[in-house]
Structure 1
Amino acid sequence: MLLQRIAHLRRPLRPPNNILRHRPRHRLFTHNSQLLLLFPSATRPQIPFLHSSSRKSKQNFTLSSQLNRFLSTERKARWKERMRWQLRFHAYFWPAAIMIMLAGAGTHQLYLERKYPTPREWSFGSRWVLRSAMTREFEPFSRIDGVIVDWARVGSYYKLLVERLEDPEIDGQNLIEQDEGGILVDGVGRTGFDISMKPESWGRGYHQALMGAAKSAEHLDGYVTDRKRKKVFPKEMMIGPSNPRPKPKPYGWHDPPKEENCDPAYASPQVFYMRILTTKGFSTRQRLDAALAYADWLDFKGLAETAESMYDWALDIAAGALPMGSKNVVDMKTGVINPRAEAPASENLLKASTALGVHHALHNNVQSALPIFLSVLKARKDLPPDPLSHARPKELSKPKEESVISAYLRAIKDWLVEAPYPPSPPSGDEPPFHTLEEACEEVGLMTYIGEILYATSSKEKGLSWTRDAVDAAEAIMWMMKEEDRKDGGERCQECLETGLNNWKKMARSMAKQAEKKENKNGSKSSGWLNFGRGDAADQSRRWEEELTQIDLRIQKTIPLVKPLEPARSSWLSV
């Protein structure tokens, strides 16, 4: 028994099974103090100056001691590595993201610059504002629900642009006031500057900004702005003494404003149109466009006499640019172009006379409108042909097919090299040539003449003029389609659609009259005596056949009036 006890004592001590279940990890020598707290029976030597005392009670543990237990050497190294990785990630990611955003914005602005060119003499901010205004006005993705133009935003851009262009500290250097301090007119404000010292492209952009502001003012006429909320509302919704029965707001709108907090949403269109007409340095075409647009606005507002005075002013602007000795080209009182004049009528003069004739036709003054249309049509038919149309064969007018490599090279060049500003259009002081575009204008005049003749003197003549207008418009549209012309056919397309509708209405009216006449003659005749009824029946059948022919013509011209466009494909379709 004694030997068994001695052998038992000589056996090595075994640790408990729960300790040997997991092999202990290798630890640094300085962290054995943690093991001492958990396993006080370890056989390693105790080194008091390398670990915290384990004799402290649980109530004496402070935050620093707990933090010391949590932040071990491995954890510190891991947190440092994570911190370095985060700093490295943010140092690379955010600059790269900012550069990508700047590159995307620059690419988008370059695309808009090629679509809506801006003068190179302007500052960077002014060019950006003009592109933003035109994008808001013409791009579908910038419209409200893809349909409605936000004219309040567009008008704010144009207003800011005009202020920048007239500010001497930004883009208004070398602008000369025509009188000291400028001329102030009631309801118009300050008149225009003298921009003759500015480049032509600067003046063209200034005219574009003023016309855009005038167009915005037309659409914002009758709107007010709430000063507190900076919101635009129709004047009918304003709550105040001047509007005792305000119009209820639509669903989803803000609450209507009070009258004491409202200001006019925009200046009057007259301010901007008169600024153009009184500015020295604009071309005849630019001043004429402003005068005709202002006269059309006055017609829309019901100011017929004032509009007629403005049309007379436009006619005077066009005639004033003619060379000396050609004052007898047009009768300034009636607007009729003299067919026996020595010099041909200029493009601006033809445009002004046509606009005056349309004004007379809208106000049922057909005695003045018909001679104008006939004289302008005669003048346009007597225009000389385009000399370049014979010298340039049709094969050269079509673009040549280019290879894929050359297309890529051209695209890269377009992105890297800034495209030049478009050349200035003709001033319109010279007579135009007889081209397909001018033929479209002739079709419009024939449509006007057909409507006037049908409504006044002879329905048969009016219907005949309308038929000829439709035939001419269709022939011109097919010629443009053969030559693959995408520009210049809008006028002819509109005239073709209008002519077909007028033709159908005229023929339907004539068919009803023939049917009434047939029924009237049938009721008067009795027995086998049907004198006069056969002619009426023939007329009725004739107009029914013509209506059938008109329907067939409408179906035939659908590709011309409403051409089919291929669906837009994106990179997702790949």
Structure 2
Amino acid sequence: MAPRLIARKIVFHQAGSRSRCLRSFANQSRLTTSTGSRPSLPFLFIPRASPNSVRCYTSERRRWWKHEAKLVVRYTLTLWGVVVCVLTILFAVNEEVVEREFPTPHEWHYLTRKFLRDANNFKDPKNGEVNWARALELSRGVVIRLEDPKTGGQDVVKLSDIVDPSLEVPGEFIACDISEKSEEWRRGYYEAIMLAAKAAEHVDGWQRDITRNIVTPPEFVIGPSNPHPTPIPPGNPSAPREEDCELAYPSADNWYTKILATKGLNSRQMVEACLEYASFMEFKSNPQGAESLYKLALAEATADVDPKKLPYDPKTLVLKDRAEPPSMNVLSALTAMANHVARKGDISSALPMYLSILKARRSLSNDPPRTPLSKAKREPIYQQMLNFFAPPDYPPPPPDGALPPWRSTLERCQEAALNLYIGEILYATGSRDEGLAWTRDGVDLAEEQLRNPKINEDSRGTKSTCRNCLSTGLDNWSIMVSRLAKEEKDKKATGSQSSVFSFWSGPSRETEGRWEAEEAVIQDRVKRTRELLEDVQAPKPGIVSYFKV
């Protein structure tokens, strides 16, 4: 039994010593953890010799940052490269579209061509917001560049050495000799200088505030010459004061005078310049100057005609019946002169002129002049593809006006305008029924030309002329009939009052309600022709339209 007791003591002793060791190790570890001298680490954790903030600048982290930076630069450059390419393509396509709408001579410098395209775009924008000031600045720059030998003005000879130091460009309004230039160059030069003159008409009298460099129409300027200024529209700078302003642009007379003194233009261009200048003189209340310019246009139109063989009477300016058909220039000059005579109030002289011009126009040929046919050369496919992407050719030159025109859409619209002039004169002189008849014929003829599908093939000026003629004719017709309808109502009122005292009087022989009925006809006519007076386009289908039922 004794040995068993000894063995049990030994086992218990060993077990007690082991438990004491475990308790001492636990106490030691608890003590170590509480003091923070040695933290508990996870399994297989590699201890670091430095903190995390220092670890960011190790070789591994540096390589990672370099890689990320390269990706950022690469993607940024790629994105901006794509954006630049897309914008360049859109710019090129837009310039090509504007070039096809407003062509410019190909021999000009790129900036000169772009300035003229932009000037035309400001004059006739698609959104309808015309900016004549910007059109003047650009077209003015085109003329200056074309006269500069460094930007395409070689072989352009100045006809005078007198300059104006007060101008921004001292020799801007010196006339030139452009005879050595090509026909396309001269035609583009004429277009630019005429655009500058027309834009200067619309900004005539505009003021520039020298303190803020702001250009303002004269009706907004505050000063003694304008005691009741027009309020400034919201969102614009405040109205300038008259003492702080100066004339913003030169007068249109400078450009017109320069055109008339330029050498190298054909007769048609000179006649058009004279007529435009005369119209501006009438607007400026200078009838004597306008009449002189109309006579100058008529003299330019008949410069190559023997004075004994003039197609019109020099005293009455009425076209002769047995004379040869008048040229386009003669018809334009005589029509403008007749308008001037009618505006002066000399109706007895204007009416025979209108009738003779209308008779001459109706006797013109209905067929266009024959042009020599040229055999089209057969080109290879690759050349056809190159021609498709090549810029369009500059349009061929228009007629110089030395020959009689044919009854094209534009000429028929001119006939409609003559009908309106004659009808207005006859109505004013007492022949009301005849005046209404002539006015109706003019409206019918203008509407017929606007409904002609061939008008889409003509220039934009043709459609604009026909629209103006139709709009003016409808207005004249409406005014004439409204006056007659008012008189008719007054007669009815007086007739009803007198019928009380004249019981045995019979009914009136006049057809009652005639002019009221015609007023209703005019209103229907206005509604029917509204689509002809405006370019109404259907909305373009968008992405949302594909999801609609």
Q: TM-score, normalised by structure 2?
A: 0.81
1:130 paired residue number = 116
Does residue 119 of structure 1 match 2:92? no
The 3 A distance-change label for structure 1 pair 441 and 124 is same
2:478 paired residue number = 504
Paired AA for residue 329 in structure 1: P
Task: Provide the C-alpha distance between the structure 2 equivalents of 1:96 and 1:121, rounded to a whole number of angstroms.
Answer: 32
Partner of residue 222 from structure 1, selected from 192, 205, 215: 205
Partner of residue 296 from structure 1, selected from 253, 261, 279: 279
Partner of residue 534 from structure 1, selected from 489, 495, 508: 508
Task: Provide the C-alpha distance between the structure 1 equivalents of 2:346 and 2:244, rounded to a whole number of angstroms.
Answer: 45
Root-mean-square deviation (Å): 3.7
For residues 237-256 of structure 1, the aligned pairs below 5 Å read: 237-238=220-221, 249-256=232-239
For residues 306-455 of structure 1, the aligned pairs below 5 Å read: 306-320=289-303, 322-324=304-306, 327-341=309-323, 343-386=324-367, 416-455=389-428
Task: Provide the C-alpha distance between the structure 2 equivalents of 1:309 and 1:253, rounded to a whole number of angstroms.
Answer: 42
Task: Provide the C-alpha distance between the structure 1 equivalents of 2:504 and 2:536, rounded to a whole number of angstroms.
Answer: 56
Indicate if the aligned counterparts of 1:112 and 1:131 stay in contact, CA closer than 8 A.
yes
The 3 A distance-change label for structure 1 pair 89 and 523 is closer
1:473 paired residue number = 446
Indicate if the aligned counterparts of 1:440 and 1:489 stay in contact, CA closer than 8 A.
no
Task: Provide the C-alpha distance between the structure 1 equivalents of 2:448 and 2:93, rounded to a whole number of angstroms.
Answer: 42
Does residue 166 of structure 1 match 2:147? yes
Stretch of structure 1 that moved more, 441-450 or 302-311:
302-311
Indicate if the aligned counterparts of 1:237 and 1:248 stay in contact, CA closer than 8 A.
yes
Q: Number of matched residues?
A: 510
Q: Unpaired segments of 5 or more residues in structure 1? A: 38-65, 141-145, 393-405
Deviation string, structure 1 residues 250-299 (Cα, Å, up to 9, x no partner): 44332333445433111100111111111111122222222211111222
Indicate if the aligned counterparts of 1:225 and 1:233 stay in contact, CA closer than 8 A.
yes
The 3 A distance-change label for structure 1 pair 241 and 434 is closer
Stretch of structure 1 that moved more, 564-573 or 344-353:
564-573
The 3 A distance-change label for structure 1 pair 99 and 472 is closer
The 3 A distance-change label for structure 1 pair 325 and 482 is closer
1:279 paired residue number = 262
**Deviation at residue 126 of structure 1 after TM alignment:** 0.7
Task: Provide the C-alpha distance between the structure 1 equivalents of 2:78 and 2:529, rounded to a whole number of angstroms.
Answer: 60
Indicate if the aligned counterparts of 2:409 and 2:455 stay in contact, CA closer than 8 A.
no
**Deviation at residue 386 of structure 1 after TM alignment:** 0.9
Paired AA for residue 119 in structure 2: A
Task: Provide the C-alpha distance between the structure 1 equivalents of 2:66 and 2:496, rounded to a whole number of angstroms.
Answer: 109
* Partner SS, residue 225 of structure 1: strand
Indicate if the aligned counterparts of 1:514 and 1:539 stay in contact, CA closer than 8 A.
no
Task: Provide the C-alpha distance between the structure 1 equivalents of 2:226 and 2:525, rounded to a whole number of angstroms.
Answer: 52
Deviation string, structure 1 residues 429-480 (Cα, Å, up to 9, x no partner): 11011234322211111111011001014112212222332333344444x1
Stretch of structure 1 that moved more, 156-165 or 186-195:
186-195
Task: Provide the C-alpha distance between the structure 2 equivalents of 1:112 and 1:121, rounded to a whole number of angstroms.
Answer: 17
The 3 A distance-change label for structure 1 pair 326 and 542 is same
Paired AA for residue 190 in structure 2: H
Task: Provide the C-alpha distance between the structure 1 equivalents of 2:491 and 2:223, rounded to a whole number of angstroms.
Answer: 59
Task: Provide the C-alpha distance between the structure 2 equivalents of 1:551 and 1:563, rounded to a whole number of angstroms.
Answer: 20
Stretch of structure 1 that moved more, 295-304 or 327-336:
327-336
The 3 A distance-change label for structure 1 pair 223 and 527 is closer
The 3 A distance-change label for structure 1 pair 227 and 483 is closer
2:4 paired residue number = none
Deviation string, structure 1 residues 161-215 (Cα, Å, up to 9, x no partner): 2211111221211101234x2698x999844211011111111111111112112
Does residue 108 of structure 1 match 2:119? no
**Deviation at residue 558 of structure 1 after TM alignment:** 4.5
Identical columns (%): 35
Indicate if the aligned counterparts of 1:515 and 1:540 stay in contact, CA closer than 8 A.
no
The 3 A distance-change label for structure 1 pair 573 and 164 is farther
Paired AA for residue 382 in structure 1: S
Deviation string, structure 1 residues 323-372 (Cα, Å, up to 9, x no partner): 4477411234543222222x211111111111121222233221222121
1:464 paired residue number = 437
* Partner SS, residue 290 of structure 2: helix
Paired AA for residue 33 in structure 1: A
* Partner SS, residue 150 of structure 2: coil
Task: Provide the C-alpha distance between the structure 2 equivalents of 1:388 and 1:512, rounded to a whole number of angstroms.
Answer: 50
The 3 A distance-change label for structure 1 pair 87 and 469 is closer
Indicate if the aligned counterparts of 2:427 and 2:433 stay in contact, CA closer than 8 A.
yes
Task: Provide the C-alpha distance between the structure 2 equivalents of 1:324 and 1:6, rounded to a whole number of angstroms.
Answer: 148
Task: Provide the C-alpha distance between the structure 1 equivalents of 2:479 and 2:114, rounded to a whole number of angstroms.
Answer: 49
Task: Provide the C-alpha distance between the structure 2 equivalents of 1:163 and 1:215, rounded to a whole number of angstroms.
Answer: 17
Partner of residue 175 from structure 1, selected from 147, 153, 156: 156
Does residue 81 of structure 1 match 2:87? no
Task: Provide the C-alpha distance between the structure 1 equivalents of 2:446 and 2:120, rounded to a whole number of angstroms.
Answer: 32
Q: Unpaired segments of 5 or more residues in structure 2? A: 1-11, 374-380
Partner of residue 270 from structure 1, selected from 253, 265, 268: 253
**Deviation at residue 10 of structure 1 after TM alignment:** 10
For residues 183-222 of structure 1, the aligned pairs below 5 Å read: 190-222=173-205
Task: Provide the C-alpha distance between the structure 2 equivalents of 1:278 and 1:483, rounded to a whole number of angstroms.
Answer: 36
Indicate if the aligned counterparts of 1:191 and 1:274 stay in contact, CA closer than 8 A.
no
1:61 paired residue number = none
